Amino acid sequence: MLLEDVYKEFLIDLEIKNYSIRTIKGYRNNYRAFLNFLINEFEVTEVEEVNTSHIKAYLRNLKDKGLSET
């Protein structure tokens, strides 16, 4: 399944569950940043391609930028 499709479904689920607009924006921005990282750094576009090394690389990237890992 494409990461982009999962991203869209996730945002719809948040709306259905009545999450606040602010919360949805936060999740949207964080998820989009992660997707862009996976695509730009590893050319990963499918959920099945994501592995722990990708996640660790993203967290290292956040830490290097001085951003929160959570």
How far apart, in Å, do the first and last CA atoms of the chain sit? Answer: 25
Residues with Cβ within 8 Å of residue 29, at least 6 apart in sequence: none
User: Burial level of 38, CB count in 10 A (0-12/13-18/19+)?
Assistant: buried
Asked, for residue 47, whether it belongs to a domain, the answer is yes
Query: For 3-58, how does the pLDDT look when each residue is reduced to its tens digit (9 = 90+)?
Result: 999 999 999 999 999 999 999 999 999 999 999 999 999 999 999 999 999 999 99
Asked, for residue 69, whether it belongs to a domain, the answer is no
Tell me the C-alpha distance between 31 and 61, whole Å: 14
Count the domains in the chain.
1
* Angle made by CA atoms 42, 38, 33, in degrees to the nearest 5: 150
Asked, for residue 23, whether it belongs to a domain, the answer is yes
pTM value is 0.85
Query: For 34-47, how does the pLDDT look when each residue is reduced to its tens digit (9 = 90+)?
Result: 999 999 999 999 99
Q: What residue numbers bound the domain in which 26 lies?
A: 3-64
Asked, for residue 70, whether it belongs to a domain, the answer is no
